[in-house]
Structures are given as C-alpha cells and as structure tokens.
C-alpha cells in the first residue's frame, strides 16, 4: 500500500520518472483503444464491403462524438480527485465517485435514446454515400443501445487516473480489445454480418470490460472510503461538471467539426469517403502520444497544484513537450513518406489506399505540433483553466480548420492532402494562442488567475 502511494504521489521525486511511469500505461491504453477501433475497419475492409468501410467510418465518427464528450466530462473527475489527494483530503473522493455514478447513469439513458431514435437522420446529415446510409444507421443504432458500457468504462478510467493509477485503465482496455478482436472475426469474418457485426463486437467488448473491471476493483485497496450514502446526487457533481463541462463542450464542437469534415469528404464519392475512413484510423495512432501527454499532464499538474508545487507543473510542461516532439518527428515522417503502407493494412482496394495516403501526407505535421498544443492543454486542465482550453479549441476549429477544409474540398480537383493540411495549420494557430495565455498566466501568478474550479 505504501509503495502504491509513493508511485501515485506526483508532488515529490523525479518529475521525468513520475511522468513517464504514469504516461506509459496511459499510452498503452490509448494504443489498445486505437487498435480497438482499427480492428473494426480492418475486418470489415478484409471480409466486408467498401460501403461497409464507409459505414463504419461515418458511424464511428458519430459514436466518437458521444464518447469524447463523456471523456471530457469525466476529466473533471480526474482533476477533482487529483486535487483532493494533493490537498490531503481523500475523504471527499468517495462523494465525487458516488455523484458521478448517479450523474452518468442519467447521461447514459439520454444518449442511448438519442442515438437509437436518430441514427438514420444522423447518417443522412453526415451525407453518407447512398450505398452506406443504412449501414451507418445500423452501426450507430447498435452502439447507441450499448452506450451505457462505453460511458461506464470512461468514468472508471477517469477515477483511477485521478488516483494516479494508470495501470488499471490499461488492463481494462486490454480486456476490451481482446474481446473486440474475437467478436469482429466471429461476427464479420465467420457470420458475414458486415457493419452490424463490427458494432455488436464493440458493444460486447465494452460490456465484458466493464463487468470484469468492477470485479477487479473490488479486490483493490483504495486510498479512500466510499459508502452507499455517497451514491446520490450531491454537490460534488456541480464541481466536477464545472471543470469538465468546458472540456466536454469543446469536444462536442470539435468533433462536430470533424463530422462536418467527414461530410465534406463524403461528397467527393465512395473512394474518397472510404480512403478518409482508413486514414482516420491511422490518424488515431498518430495522435496517441499527444493524447497520452494531455491526460498524464492533467493528472500530474492537478496533484501538484493541490500541493502548491507550481515549480513542478512548469517543469513537467516543457519536459512533456520535448518528449512528445521527439517521438512526433519520427511518426510524422513515416506518415508523410510511407502513408500507403499502413493504409494497405486496412484496405485492399488500390484507389482507397491511394486516397488514404493522400490525406496522411497533409496531416503528417500534426504528429509534432499537437504534442506542444496538448501539453499546454493538459497543463491548463490541471489548473482548472478549462474555460480557456475550450475557447482556444473552438477558435482553432472554427477560425482555421473548418474554413480551410471546406475551401479545399470545393476546389475543382479537390485534394485530400490539402484538406489534411487544415489540421496542423489549426494546431499551429492554437499553440500561439496558448503561448500568449501561458505567459500572461505565469506573469500574474496562479493566485491571481484562479478559475472557478481552483476555488473548490
């Protein structure tokens, strides 16, 4: 128990060692999550149809909007738990978790109803190719019916990241990934259920992961106590929603922009739609290191803010940027020069592979610049400056990424490379905004720039 406490205490010891020790399991979990989604595309691409690839791609974009929104909201749980542990008040953690159980149970019911009822209108709104409209609706309906498990997984993982434990979320997603692979092969390759099989495998994998994770948690020695009286609507809900809502709103609007981008590309035909779908799965791997950086930075900074160790938060910020960029240069180079190789893993159609590689060439610089941006975002999330994080994210999306993507998509000879370049262009703009805010923030001092969440 003492060894676990020392490992999850970010307020003392080597910053690089603590950050890496926490980040590696987070990165592992994200790799498995990316594989989790990529397997659907791979199996449907190999054993299904080209229209099926488009259906899974468009449908997963819709489901991802919901998933990332829940992830944003649950980030408030991570920050709040980290803050309470840093202050030495673990007694409040049980109330945070109890409130989260009630709040997200209601959220799950609402989301499930919306996705099941509006699956086809959403597919049409996304301008899915005619051959893929029904397949997209099927994917959304099935995943919507099992959204409670997707929500539960994200909430459980956010709790343990707040506790400084990133190994259990890795175990949970490993279970889900293994079940999803088996399910995809059985439902799609053996039973030939195409898109419906991929969606069923996704829901089944999440369900198994949640059930087993709950069984594992019951055997853990946790640094807080929780009673049945904690499981109710309480004031902690307002607190973690206050921190997480701006992140969630940013995720909603940012992912709406990606849905719009998907719709722009869908208008270019089935090959472009399927090529973008394949590229999107590869992009999910490209973004792993930046995403792991942001999650790890948020948890690390939150604890140190609670303990008053601002010196450690700034050192962690620049260490994170350096680590991320070093890896990003390699990943970006491979995406730019060899994008056809990973694309061929997910599709056999040469035209689809070509369009996927075309998009990746424009997107490649994102592997580097996003490491800088996401390090900033994790730093500000840990300081509860989530309103700023939301504002800068929306500015990137609606001032740069969407306008540039749209303009590139309506050109007579529209190039997926130029559409892909919109992402790193928006990120560079975001870095400049974050740098200006960071310089202002440290000049005024943490005590003079408290966000609502920091007065909790």
Exposure b/e, 172-204, CB count within 10 A at least 16 = b: bbbbbbebbbebbbbbbeeeebbbbbbbbbbbb
Angle at 312 between CA 311 and CA 317, to 5 degrees: 105
Using the predicted structure, report yes or no on whether residue 386 has a pLDDT greater than 60: yes
Interatomic CA distance for residues 360 and 283, integer angstroms: 8
Instruction: Tell me what pLDDT residue 218 has.
Output: 75
CB neighbourhood size of 64 (10 A) = 19
Q: Averaged over 36-60, what is the pLDDT?
A: 81
3-state secondary structure of 267: coil
Using the predicted structure, report yes or no on whether residue 7 has a pLDDT greater than 50: no
Instruction: Tell me what pLDDT residue 446 has.
Output: 55
Q: Which of 28-32, 139-143, 253-257, 368-372 has the lowest mean pLDDT?
A: 253-257
What's the pLDDT band for 424 if we cut at 50, 70, 90?
A: very high
Calculate what percentage of the chain has a pLDDT beyond 90: 27
| pLDDT tens per residue, range 269-281 | 888 888 888 888 7
Per the prediction, the chain carries an average pLDDT of 84
Instruction: Tell me what pLDDT residue 48 has.
Output: 80
User: What separation in angstroms does the CA of 100 have from each of 94, 95, 97, 135, 394?
Assistant: 10, 8, 5, 34, 26
Interatomic CA distance for residues 83 and 313, integer angstroms: 13
- Copy the structure tokens of residue 99: 């409130």
Q: Which of 47-56, 308-317, 391-400 has the lowest mean pLDDT?
A: 47-56
Instruction: Tell me what pLDDT residue 357 has.
Output: 94
What's the pLDDT band for 433 if we cut at 50, 70, 90?
A: very high
Q: Averaged over 445-456, what is the pLDDT?
A: 46
What's the pLDDT band for 101 if we cut at 50, 70, 90?
A: confident
| pLDDT tens per residue, range 152-182 | 888 888 888 777 777 787 788 888 888 988 9
* Residue pair 380/386 in contact by the 8 Å Cβ criterion: yes
């Amino acid at each position: 128990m003492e060894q676990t406490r020392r490992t999850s205490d970010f307020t003392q010891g080597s910053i690089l060692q603590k950050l890496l020790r926490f980040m590696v399991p987070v990165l592992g979990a994200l790799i498995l999550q990316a594989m989790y989604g990529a397997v659907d595309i791979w199996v449907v691409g190999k054993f299904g149809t080209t229209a099926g690839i488009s259906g899974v791609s468009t449908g997963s974009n819709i489901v991802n909007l919901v998933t990332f929104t829940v992830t944003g909201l649950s980030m408030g749980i991570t920050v709040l738990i980290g803050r309470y542990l840093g202050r030495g008040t673990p007694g409040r953690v049980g109330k945070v978790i109890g409130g989260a159980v009630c709040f997200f149970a209601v959220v799950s019911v609402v989301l499930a109803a919306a996705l099941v009822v509006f699956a086809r209108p959403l597919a049409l709104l996304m301008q899915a190719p005619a051959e893929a409209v029904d397949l997209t609706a099927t994917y959304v309906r099935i995943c919507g019916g099992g959204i409670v498990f997707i929500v539960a997984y994200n909430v459980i993982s956010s709790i343990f990241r707040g506790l400084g434990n990133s190994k259990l979320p890795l175990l949970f997603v490993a279970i889900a990934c293994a079940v999803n692979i088996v399910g995809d092969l059985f439902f799609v390759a053996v039973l030939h259920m195409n898109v419906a099989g991929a969606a069923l495998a996704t829901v089944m994998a999440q369900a198994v992961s949640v059930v087993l994770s709950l069984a594992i948690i019951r055997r853990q020695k946790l640094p807080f106590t929780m009673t049945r009286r904690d499981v109710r609507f309480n004031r902690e809900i307002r607190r973690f929603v206050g921190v997480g809502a701006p992140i969630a709103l940013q995720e909603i609007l940012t992912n709406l922009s990606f849905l719009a981008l998907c719709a722009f590309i869908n208008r270019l035909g089935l090959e472009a739609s399927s090529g973008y779908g394949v590229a999107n799965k590869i992009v999910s791997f490209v973004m792993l290191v930046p995403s792991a950086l942001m999650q790890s930075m948020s948890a690390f900074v939150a604890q140190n803010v609670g303990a008053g160790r601002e010196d450690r938060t700034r050192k962690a910020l620049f260490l994170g940027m350096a680590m991320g960029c070093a890896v990003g240069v390699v990943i970006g180079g491979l995406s730019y020069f060899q994008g056809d190789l990973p694309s061929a893993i997910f599709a056999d159609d040469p035209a689809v592979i070509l369009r996927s590689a075309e998009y990746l060439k424009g997107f490649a610089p994102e592997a580097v610049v996003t490491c800088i941006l996401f390090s900033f975002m994790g730093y500000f999330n840990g300081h509860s400056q989530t309103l700023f994080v939301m504002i800068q994210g929306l500015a990137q999306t609606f001032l740069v990424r969407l306008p540039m993507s749209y303009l590139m998509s309506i050109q007579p000879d529209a190039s997926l490379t130029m559409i892909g370049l919109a992402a790193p262009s928006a990120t560079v703009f975001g870095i400049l905004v974050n740098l200006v805010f960071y310089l202002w923030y440290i000049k005024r001092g943490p005590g003079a720039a408290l966000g609502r969440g920091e007065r909790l």
